[in-house]
Amino acid sequence: MPNSVNSIVLKLFTTKESLKQHLLQLKASNKTIGFVPTMGALHQGHISLIELAKQQNDVTVCSIFVNPSQFNDPKDLEKYPRTIEADTELLEQVKADILFYPGVSEIYDDNEQWHLDIGETEHLLEGEFRPGHYQGVTQVVYKLFNIVKPDTAYFGQKDYQQFLIISKMVDMLHMPVKLIMCPIKREPDGLAMSSRNIHLTADDRKHALILSKTLNWVKDNFDSHNIPALKKEAGLMISAEPGVELDYFEIANGDDLHQADKNAKTIVALVAAKVGKTRLIDNVVLK
Ligand code: AMP
C-alpha cells in the first residue's frame, strides 16, 4: 500500500503570482526556502544542488527556465535541450517541493532592454566569447530572486564566473539571500556533467575528456611549474586533440578572474572549447 503520510508531491507553478502567494504562506509559518535555478535537462549535477538545498532548508524550489536573454546565438537557444517530463520525474524522485516552470512572457515584457552593470568581470572569459551573456544571467536571476525571495540559493562551481557575477549583483543590490557554491559533478571518466553533453557524438564524447584531463594535469603540476608554463602546456594539450577547438584556457585569480600570480589567495584554471559542434566549459580550483 502506498504510504500517503510520507509521500511528497511536487507542486508545479507556471505563474509568478501563484508561486509568490504559495511561498508567502510558507514564509508566514517561518519555513526557510532554498532555491535552485536551472535551465532544465536535469542531470546529477543539478540534483546535487537540490539535495543540498533540501538538507539545509524546509522547502526546496527548483526553477526551469531556458532564459532567452543569456543566449547570444539564436541557434544555440533553439537547440538547447528541453526535457520537462524527465525533469519532473527526477524532481519527484529527489523529493523537491516546488517546480517553477514559467513561459517567457511570464518573466519578460516585450522588448525588455535594461541591464545591470556588474563591472569588469562580466566581460572577461565567457563574457568575451559570449557577449551579453552575463547581462542575461543577471536579468533572469534578479527576477527569479525577487519572485522566490529565497533564504539561500545554490549554484554550481561548474559555472564559476557566473557565481562571481551573481555574488557581485547580490552585494551591489543588498539582496537578502545567501549564495552557496556546490562542487562540480563529473561522469566516472572525469567529464563535467552538462545539459549540453547530450549533443556530443560518440567521438566528441571521447575527445571532450581532454578538458578535464588537462585541468587535472595543471592541478598536479601547479607546485612545480610557473603559471605561463602551465598555460602554454595546457593550450598545447587541448589544441592537439582532434575535433576540439579551444576558446580559452586561463589560470585566473579566483576573486576577479584576472590573470593570476602565484600569490593570489584563490587560483582557478578555467577552460572553454568547442568539441565538435558543442561548446563546453570546465574548471578546477588550484589553490
Ligand atoms: P544550468 O541548467 O546549466 O543553467 O545549471 C543550473 C545550475 O546547475 C547552475 O548553478 C550550474 O552551475 C549547476 N550545474 C551545472 N552542471 C553542474 C555540474 N556538473 N555539477 C554541479 N553543478 C552543476
pLDDT in tens, 232-272: 999 999 999 999 999 999 999 999 999 999 999 999 999 99
Q: Is the CB of 155 under 6 A from ligand 1?
A: yes
Give the number of the atom of ligand 1 that is nearest the alpha carbon of residue 40.
Answer: 2
Is pLDDT above 70 for 5?
A: no
pLDDT at 1: 44
The CATH number of 195-285, from 2.30.40.10, 3.30.1300.10, 3.40.50.1950, 3.40.470.10, is: 3.30.1300.10
Structure confidence by residue, pLDDT tens digits, 139-171: 999 999 999 999 999 999 999 999 999 999 999
Give the C-alpha distances (Å, rounded to integers) separating 163 from 166, 197, 255: 5, 21, 10
Give the number of the atom of ligand 1 that is nearest the alpha carbon of residue 195.
Answer: 3
Q: Is the CB of 193 under 6 A from ligand 1?
A: yes
CA 68 to CA 150: how far, in whole Å? 23
Catalytic residues: 46
Q: Does domain 5-182 have CATH number 3.40.50.620?
A: yes
CA 59 to CA 64: how far, in whole Å? 17
Exposed e or buried b for every residue in 20-50, given b needs 16+ CB within 10 A? eebbeebeeeeeebbbbbbbbbbbebbbbbb
Whether 135 contacts 122, CB under 8 Å: yes
Q: Is the CB of 140 under 6 A from ligand 1?
A: no
d(CA 203, ligand 1 centre) in Å: 24
Rounded mean pLDDT, 40-55: 98
Rounded mean pLDDT, 216-225: 98
**DSSP letter (8 states) at residue 4:** T
Give the number of the atom of ligand 1 that is nearest the alpha carbon of residue 49.
Answer: 22
What interhelical angle do 133-148 and 16-28 show, nearest 10? 50
Q: Is the CB of 38 under 6 A from ligand 1?
A: yes
Structure confidence by residue, pLDDT tens digits, 69-107: 999 999 999 999 999 999 999 999 999 999 999 999 999
pLDDT at 16: 98
Domain locations in the chain as residue ranges:
5-182, 195-285
Residue nearest to atom 14 of ligand 1 (CA): 156
List of E strands, the chain: 11-13, 33-38, 59-64, 98-100, 152-156, 178-182, 244-253, 267-275, 278-285
pLDDT at 256: 96
Q: Nearest CA to 158 among 128, 196, 120?
A: 196
Residue nearest to atom 10 of ligand 1 (CA): 155
Is pLDDT above 50 for 4?
A: no
User: Please, which pLDDT band fits residue 3 given cuts at 50, 70 and 90?
Assistant: very low
Strand partners, 246: 273
The 3-class SS string of 18-64 reads: HHHHHHHHHHHCCCCEEEEEECCCCCHHHHHHHHHHHHHCCEEEEEE
